[in-house]
Each structure stands twice: as structure tokens, then as C-alpha cells.
Amino acid sequence: MQNMIELQAISHHFDTASERIELFHGLSCTIRAGETLAIVGPSGAGKSSLLSIAAGLEVPSGGTVRFIIDGAEVDALTMRANSGFIFQQFHLMPELDAIGNLALPLRLKGNRDAFDIAARWLDKVGLRDRARHRPHQLSGGEQQRIAVARAFVTAPRFIFADEPTGNLDIHTSDSVAGLMFDCARETGCGLVIVTHSEALAARADTSLLLAAGKLELAE
Ligand SMILES: Nc1ncnc2c1ncn2[C@@H]1O[C@H](COP(=O)(O)OP(=O)(O)O)[C@@H](O)[C@H]1O
Ligand SMILES: [Mg+2]
């Protein structure tokens, strides 16, 4: 079944008290499940905003966004329910242990097998022996592995990652990146990554550069 996001002639701006910040104008792009896409570009170019729009978290100032899940057009709420998110700052729940963090999105969906599925993902990301550790007892790399597993645990159609390796050293970045791409390929979900890392962008099927309000194929 077809899963895709179509951005057609998207523009976006923010109004502040003193000025209007124009981010981009007339951007079009199609994102398909089963493909990996990297978005690179200078700080402030609007990469995070574009990611939020593609994920249905934010509505663009202009243009059309179409979300297709299992062959049918759906609204932003349904799109979000079929998405997983990974952030630079991990955003794990500090009061829950590793397996509790993994089980949470499943429990919120009323899944009775939440802890069994969470345990399988914990195994998959190599952290079975950290199940009862809370985030502050884990390294940055371990926390991000948990966050990657948490994004995939509900079997989403798309994963959105904003600077997922921005807080990790080079070696750890590489292993977290490998994990993300392996999970995306195995599950067949779409992966959209905003990154400053050339090494990370190079892993993606397609790399787009967002700069000066335009989106172009990166070198
Ligand atoms: N909610 C907001 N209100 C006003 N300005 C914002 C808001 N969100 C982002 N911006 C501004 O829009 C620009 C682009 O932000 P962002 O999408 O985060 O860019 P990037 O991720 O490429 O660094 C920045 O100048 C930022 O300050
Ligand atoms: Mg950003």
C-alpha cells in the first residue's frame, strides 16, 4: 500500500512583533515510505520547520500538503499517529526506565503487549541489560538508541529525525546512524533526517539542500 507525503508549492513565514521572517516559498517535494531523505542546510534556513510541516505538526503559511497512508489521503492527526520522531535532545521521560520509555507509546495506544514488544526492541538496539536504567544512568549514545527504538516501536510509516546525532561524538553518531537506517530499511518506513553531518546525509538515498528559501538536490 502506498504511503507518501506530497508538499506542493509550500511557503512558510513567521511574524514577530517587529518583522516577518520568510523561510521559504514555492517548495515542492514528494517523500515516500521505503526511501530515506536527508535535508541539509545552514542554521536558520527552516529545516526544522520544513520537517514539522512534512510530519503534520505544523501547517504551512501557503501551499498544499497531502498525506497518503495505506493508499488513502488522511489528515494531519492521522499522519502524526503513523509517524515516529527522534530529536537531538533525546527527550526521554526522566522518571521512566529504558523499557518503560519504550513501552509508553504502545501503552498510550492501549497495546496489551507493550512490554513484550518493548523488550524485543530493547534487544534489537543492544540494550537488554539496561532495561531498568533511567535516562540519567545511560550515556548519550544509549539514550539515543532508546529514542530510536521508541520512534519505531509503534510500527510507524514515517520517521522524522531532527539533528539526531547533533549531541553525539563521531563514533557514537555513526553507530546510531547505522541503527536508524537499518531499522528504516527493515521496516520499510520512510526516514526523513535533518542533519549537519555530511556522513549522515551521505547514507540517505536522496540529499536535499535547503538554503536561501530554496530546496535543491545536494551535491
Ligand atoms: N515559532 C517561531 N516563531 C518565530 N520565529 C521562528 C519560530 N520557529 C522558528 N523561527 C525562526 O525561523 C527560522 C528558521 O527556523 P528553523 O526551522 O528552526 O531553522 P533550522 O532548523 O534550519 O535551523 C529561524 O530564524 C527561527 O528563529
Ligand atoms: Mg533546526
Q: What is the pLDDT of residues 103-117, one digit of tens each?
A: 999 999 999 999 999
Q: For a substitution probing ligand 1, which of 21, 40, 195 has the most ligand atoms within 8 Å of its CB?
A: 21
Predicted TM-score of the model (pTM): 0.95
- 18 CB within 6 A, ligand 1: no
Q: pLDDT tens digits, residue range 174-213?
A: 999 999 999 999 999 999 999 999 999 999 999 999 999 9
pLDDT at residue 38, as a whole number? 98
Taking the C-alpha atoms of residue 136 and residue 94, their distance in angstroms, rounded to an integer, is 7
Whether residue 219 is predicted with pLDDT greater than 80 in this model: the reply is no
Q: Does the pLDDT value for residue 1 go beyond 80?
A: no
State if residue 49 touches ligand 1 by the CB under 6 angstroms criterion. Answer: yes
The C-alpha atoms of residue 71 and residue 78 are separated, in whole angstroms, by: 13
Please report the atom of ligand 1 found closest to the CA of residue 16. Answer: 4
- Mean pLDDT (the chain, rounded): 96
Q: What is the pLDDT of residue 183?
A: 96
State pLDDT tens for residues 128-159: 999 999 999 999 999 999 999 999 999 999 99
**The C-alpha cell of 3 is what?**
504511503
Pocket test for ligand 1, best of 20, 24, 25, 48 (most atoms within 8 A of CB): 48
Cβ(167) – ligand 1 distance below 6 Å: no
